[in-house]
Amino acid sequence: MLPMNHQRPLLTVTELTTKIRQVLENGFSHVALQGEISNLKRHTSGHIYFTLKDKHAQISAVLWRSRTPFLTFAPGDGMRVVVTGRVTLYEQRGIYQIEVYSLRAVGVGELQLAFERLKRRLHEEGLFDQARKRKLPEYPERIGIITSRDGAALHDILKILNRRLPSLEVIFRPVRVQGEGAAAEIATAIEDLNTFGGIDLLIVGRGGGSIEDLWAYNEERVARAICNSRIPVVSAVGHEIDITIADLVADLRAPTPSAAAEMVVKDRQTLLETVGKYWYHIHETIQSALVGKRETIRHLLSSYSFRKPVDLLRQSSQRIDELERTLATAVTHHHAMANSTAGGLQRRLLALNPELTLKRGYAIVSRNGKLITSSKIPTTKDVLDVRFHDGVVRSTVS
C-alpha cells in the first residue's frame, strides 16, 4: 500500500473516462466479432441499438443512421451476425460499446429469417396487394433497364428485345446487383428513371445466384422504390424457384431477365400478323361497301329516270298543256252557262216589270200609297189613285 501522505495526481471522473476511452479506441480501433442480436431497438432518430451476446458475455452495440442504408438485410432479435467496428466508450453512462461499421447475417437461416420478417411487415402494409399494382402498357415504345453493366442479364434482354421489336427504344441504367451498397444503387436508379420521364415500363433484375447474391432484391429500400415508382415495374431476378421481396412488390414478376423481355414486348411478326388481319378486315369492309354503292349507282343509271330525262320533261310539259286546256274549257263552259242563266233571269224580270204591263192597257189602283187588289175594298167617297203608263188620275168612289 502506498502511504497516505503519498501524493498522486487527482483526476475528475470526466478525465478518467476520457483516458479509458482513448485506451479502448486506440487498442480496439477495428474489430470483427460474431454473436447473437438481442434487445434490438430502432430509435426515432434513425439509429439502431442492440446487444450482441454469446453464451457467457455481451456487449452493447450501436449502428448510426448514416450507415443504415448500407444494410443488406433487416436485423432482428435472435439472428446470428458478424459485425465490424470499433470499441468506444459512452462517457455519459461510463459503459463501453461497439460502434458498428458493417453487419452481415451468418448463414442462410438468418437471411431467411430476415426475409420472412420483412415480408410479413410489408404484406401488412399492403405493398403486395394486387389492387395497387399497375397495368403494363400493351405496346411500350421506351423501356428502362436497371441491371449490371457486365452481367449476362443485360445481353439477354437486349438480344430478345432487338429480335422481337427493333424499333423499341431502350434506356439503360447500370447498377451493382450484389454486395454492400447494391440495394441503394438499385433504389436510386428506379427513382432516377422516374425523374427522367417518358419511359413506359422498367425491367429491374439480374441473373441467378445464391440467396446471398440476390439479397439486394430482398431489401426494404428496393421494395419501397418499386412501390413508389410511377412507371410499371417488372421484376426479373434470375431464379425460378425462390421469390424475392422485389418479385412480390413489382407489377409483374418474370422468372428470368430473358422471360421479362419476352413478356413485355410482343413479337414483331405477331404484330405484323395482327396488323395484317386488321388491314384485311378493313379492306373487306371497304370492298363490300363499294360493291353495294356500285350496285346502287348501276340501278339508278339503268332506271327510266336516268335513261329518259328529256322524255320525262316533255311528258311533264305535255301534261301541263293538257291541264291548261282543261282549265280553259272549264272556264268557257261555265261562262256560257252563266250567260244563259242571266238571259233567263232577265226575261223573267222583264215579264214582271209593271211598267210594261201598264203599257198594255192595265192600271194600278192605290189608296194612300197602298195597292187596292179587290173591288170590295174601297168605300163610297174614297179617293183612289189610278196609275196609267203615262200618268196618275185621282178619282172618287161613288
- pLDDT digits 0-9 by tens, 133-161: 999 998 899 999 999 999 899 999 999 99
pLDDT in tens, 206-241: 988 888 888 899 999 999 999 999 999 999 998 767
> Residue range 10-25: average pLDDT?
87
pLDDT for residue 334 is more than 70: no
* Cα–Cα separations (whole angstroms), residue 93 to 17, 109, 137, 239: 10, 36, 59, 49
Structurally, at CATH architecture level, domain 13-105 sits in: Beta Barrel (2.40)
pLDDT at position 175 is 96
pLDDT at position 198 is 93
The DSSP H or E segment spanning 384 is strand 383-388
| Torsion on CA atoms 171, 162, 202, 181, rounded to nearest 10 | -70
Cell 410499371 maps to which residue? Answer: 232
For the chain, the average pLDDT equals 84
Q: Which of the two residues, 129 and 345, has the higher pLDDT score? A: 129
Q: Can you give the residue ranges of every domain in the chain?
A: 13-105, 123-129+140-269, 354-396
pLDDT for residue 309 is more than 70: no
The vertex-191 CA angle with 247 and 175, nearest 5°, equals 70
Judge contact between 81 and 35, C-beta under 8 A: yes
pLDDT in tens, 66-98: 988 888 777 888 888 899 999 998 888 888 899
Is domain 123-129+140-269 annotated with CATH 3.40.50.10140? no
Percent of the chain with pLDDT over 90: 39
pLDDT in tens, 263-307: 998 866 666 666 667 776 787 788 788 888 888 887 777 766 666
pLDDT in tens, 355-381: 667 677 778 888 887 877 777 777 777
Reported pTM:
0.54
The Cα–Cα gap between 359 and 357 comes to: 5
Q: Which of the two residues, 1 and 135, has the higher pLDDT score? A: 135
CB proximity list for 99: less than 8 A, separation 6 or greater: 61, 62, 64, 85, 86, 87, 88
The Cα–Cα gap between 68 and 219 comes to: 12
> Which of 221, 251, 219, 258 has the alpha carbon at shortest distance from 237?
258
pLDDT for residue 5 is more than 60: no
pLDDT classification of 39: cutoffs 50, 70, 90: very high
* Cα–Cα separations (whole angstroms), residue 74 to 64, 99, 227: 15, 18, 18
pLDDT at position 254 is 93
Percent of the chain with pLDDT over 70: 86
